[in-house]
Chain A
């Protein structure tokens, strides 16, 4: 049974009902201790069910193995990188792209985490073409599975590429933390996981070594929703030599966590960066829902501070708050915009 499936939530609901019945039936015969235990079972069942449904909504723990740390997550589906070219996973019969799961052994960061990869249609058949790349950051709590299951990323990419609004592009969806409830905000936490190094050094190194992607900076972009939107903006501003463009969907200007060195007030605060440091020649897409005040305020702050050579494009969804429907409404425009701000697939 899947940890993020509807079956397990149904099971939880059944357990909740069963404990309630048990409490009702046994109450008159039970002693004080047993009554307390039965009541506790009721509470436990309902809390667990709510938790399972919540997990299903954010995909923080997409699998059982993820509970013990994502080092083991998705291992069943792992294709070793070298096997991607050799084994050639089956192309989508519908003509769309292919999702595969790989493991990134981060030599620089020391993190060893799984990553989902979207290979565009034609990737398997065409042996010489190298593709532009978009790294997709997930929110908190969340996982790469959120992109796949909640935000239907493959369907959107397939559609935009088929319509010619987006060039065939490889999309990387890495895990950002070894423990799902450890919020890294894609920074190098002092004394903790070095997520920034993993995402900006190890993941690109993996992609360049194992996938047919373009090496040029102008071919590399970032996207993220919610906390992942901060990741996309922050990594673009901090690594303009590695990325040319980023799209932030309902993202923030600050990490909202303590990095450990106070940098959340300065070098990891994007409003501070824009106000106090030279701005890089790069492009930033800021999208938000009009009824999501924090995201709106943060995006307007960044947009107001940005100046050439940094270029900002804004996009507003009327309603949707801070939710999957809002991000789904932004997804296709964001990917189209990114593709227009990256260079094309090319041989060599």
Chain B
């Protein structure tokens, strides 16, 4: 019999009524045992009334729709899918950060100058169950790329360093996150983009496209646009000072020369998501259910 069904409530009501009636009818029977019979009758009736009320309320609000739910059995266990190794994981030996040239499938469509590089953070090999966020650095020259790689090696995030050309578009770079996820253990969220002034517009378009990007830092004089839902910072030339002032929702940091790269990289890294082991997950709603829900519209 179902916990929320009418039959169970009907039975409960009947049994309660019978118990109540019996208590009243037999109130003065049983002679010297009547103390016991009266007490038992009252307590039994009271208990049944409470249980019946509980069944009625539970049927109305479905707190516990089944006996299994009442017993605390949800029939569901959250599981963590094992982290898939990246195809380039084998290139990482030892515990130090490792930089490798990166030639993914879609590289031609990105129209980059030279081969981009991937930086594996220190400890990447040892923490084999962990996926990292990414700091994507877009710079003007191979010299700057070398500077970007140097600072990328110091943070707990995967780095991608690339030199775009005039032909590089944000639309073409849309394949970068999936390509990187196949080759390196990276999260699908909490990435940051680091650019020079000249690449700021491209970086802005990437961040505007949303996940995985959530933050943008620009080195130089360019004033990046504020991006809804993203953290944006600019590193201006000048004497370094710690307090980042904000103007129009953009953090302004100052640093010069080589330290500008370090300041920008650090800002980018602390605005990425945490390196994480695979999350516990529950099954999602079926696709058909979701597709129908939008059309169902308002109640």
Give chain A's interface residues, CB within 8 Å of chain B.
Answer: 16-17, 20-21, 23-25, 27, 42, 46, 50, 132, 160, 163-167, 216-218, 240, 244, 271-272, 275, 280-283, 287, 289, 291-294, 297, 299-301, 303-305, 308-309, 311, 313-326, 329-330, 332-333, 336-337, 339-348
Contacts A163-B277, A164-B129; is A46 near B46 (CB within 8 Å)? yes
Contact among A132, A280, A304 with B229 in the assembled complex (CB-CB below 8 Å): A280
B289-A218 in contact (CB<8A): no
A320-B231 in contact (CB<8A): no
Range class of the B interface residue count: 35 or more
Q: List 5 A-B pairs, Cβ < 8 Å.
A: A218-B215, A283-B211, A300-B293, A321-B66, A329-B78
Contacts A244-B229, A315-B284, A329-B78; is A321 near B62 (CB within 8 Å)? yes
Query: What chain A residues lie within 8 Å of B299 (beta carbons)?
Result: 271, 297, 301
Q: Which residue of B lies closest to A47 (CB)?
A: B50
Query: What chain A residues lie within 8 Å of B292 (beta carbons)?
Result: 304
- Kindly provide the distance from the CB of A263 to the nearest chain B CB, expressed in whole angstroms: 16
Question: Is B35 part of the contact surface with A, judged by Cβ < 8 Å?
Answer: yes
Query: What chain A residues lie within 8 Å of B270 (beta carbons)?
Result: 343-344, 346-348
Query: What chain A residues lie within 8 Å of B63 (beta carbons)?
Result: 321-323
- Kindly provide the distance from the CB of A307 to the nearest chain B CB, expressed in whole angstroms: 9
Q: Give the distance in Å from the alpha carbon of A337 to the alpha carbon of B269 in the complex.
A: 20
Query: What chain B residues lie within 8 Å of A244 (beta carbons)?
Result: 229
Q: Which residue of B lies closest to A271 (CB)?
A: B298
Contacts A218-B271, A340-B273; is A16 near B298 (CB within 8 Å)? no
- Kindly provide the distance from the CB of A139 to the nearest chain B CB, expressed in whole angstroms: 11
Among A42, A280, A318, A339: residue with most chain B CB under 10 A: A318
Question: Is B42 part of the contact surface with A, judged by Cβ < 8 Å?
Answer: yes
B274-A326 in contact (CB<8A): no
- Kindly provide the distance from the CB of A111 to the nearest chain B CB, expressed in whole angstroms: 29
Please, what's the 1-or-0 string for B123-166, where 1 marks a CB less than 8 Å from any CB in chain A? Answer: 00000011001000000000000000000000000000000000
B283-A315 in contact (CB<8A): yes
Query: What chain B residues lie within 8 Å of A283 (beta carbons)?
Result: 211
Query: What chain B residues lie within 8 Å of A132 (beta carbons)?
Result: 274
Question: Is B276 part of the contact surface with A, judged by Cβ < 8 Å?
Answer: yes
Query: What chain B residues lie within 8 Å of A280 (beta carbons)?
Result: 228-229
Question: Is B295 part of the contact surface with A, judged by Cβ < 8 Å?
Answer: yes
Query: What chain B residues lie within 8 Å of A275 (beta carbons)?
Result: 297-298
A304-B293 in contact (CB<8A): yes
Query: What chain A residues lie within 8 Å of B75 (beta carbons)?
Result: 317-320
Give 10 closest A-B pairs by Cβ, nearest first: A281-B229, A304-B294, A304-B293, A336-B279, A167-B274, A24-B38, A346-B270, A300-B293, A344-B274, A315-B282
Q: Which residue of A lies closest to B285 (CB)?
A: A314
B229-A318 in contact (CB<8A): no
Query: What chain A residues lie within 8 Å of B68 (beta carbons)?
Result: 319
Q: Which residue of B lies closest to A289 (CB)?
A: B74
A301-B293 in contact (CB<8A): yes
Query: What chain A residues lie within 8 Å of B293 (beta carbons)?
Result: 300-301, 303-304
Question: Is B69 part of the contact surface with A, judged by Cβ < 8 Å?
Answer: yes
A325-B72 in contact (CB<8A): yes
Query: What chain A residues lie within 8 Å of B285 (beta carbons)?
Result: 299-300, 303, 314, 316
Please, what's the 1-or-0 string for B226-238, where 1 marks a CB less than 8 Å from any CB in chain A? Answer: 0011110000000
Query: What chain A residues lie within 8 Å of B221 (beta carbons)?
Result: none
B74-A318 in contact (CB<8A): yes
Question: Is B181 part of the contact surface with A, judged by Cβ < 8 Å?
Answer: no
Contact among A166, A289, A304 with B290 in the assembled complex (CB-CB below 8 Å): A304
Q: Which residue of B lies closest to A320 (CB)?
A: B74
Query: What chain A residues lie within 8 Å of B210 (beta carbons)?
Result: 281, 308-309, 311
B35-A340 in contact (CB<8A): no
Within 8 A of A (CB), among B7-49: 27, 34-36, 38-39, 42-43, 46, 49
Contacts A300-B293, A321-B66, A325-B73; is A344 near B272 (CB within 8 Å)? yes
Contact among A287, A318, A333 with B279 in the assembled complex (CB-CB below 8 Å): A333
Q: Which residue of B lies closest to A216 (CB)?
A: B231
Contacts beyond the supplied A218-B215, A317-B282, A339-B273: 18 A-B pairs with Cβ under 8 Å: A21-B39, A289-B74, A291-B66, A292-B62, A300-B293, A300-B296, A301-B296, A301-B297, A301-B298, A303-B293, A308-B210, A314-B290, A315-B283, A318-B76, A319-B76, A321-B65, A333-B281, A336-B276
Query: What chain B residues lie within 8 Å of A316 (beta carbons)?
Result: 76, 282-285
A165-B278 in contact (CB<8A): yes
Q: Give the distance in Å from the alpha carbon of A292 to the alpha carbon of B297 in the complex.
A: 19
Question: Is B280 part of the contact surface with A, judged by Cβ < 8 Å?
Answer: yes
Contacts A305-B294, A315-B284, A322-B62; is A340 near B276 (CB within 8 Å)? yes
Contact among B39, B43, B69 with A320 in the assembled complex (CB-CB below 8 Å): B69
Query: What chain B residues lie within 8 Å of A339 (beta carbons)?
Result: 273-274, 276, 279
A303-B46 in contact (CB<8A): no
Among A314, A317, A321: residue with most chain B CB under 10 A: A321
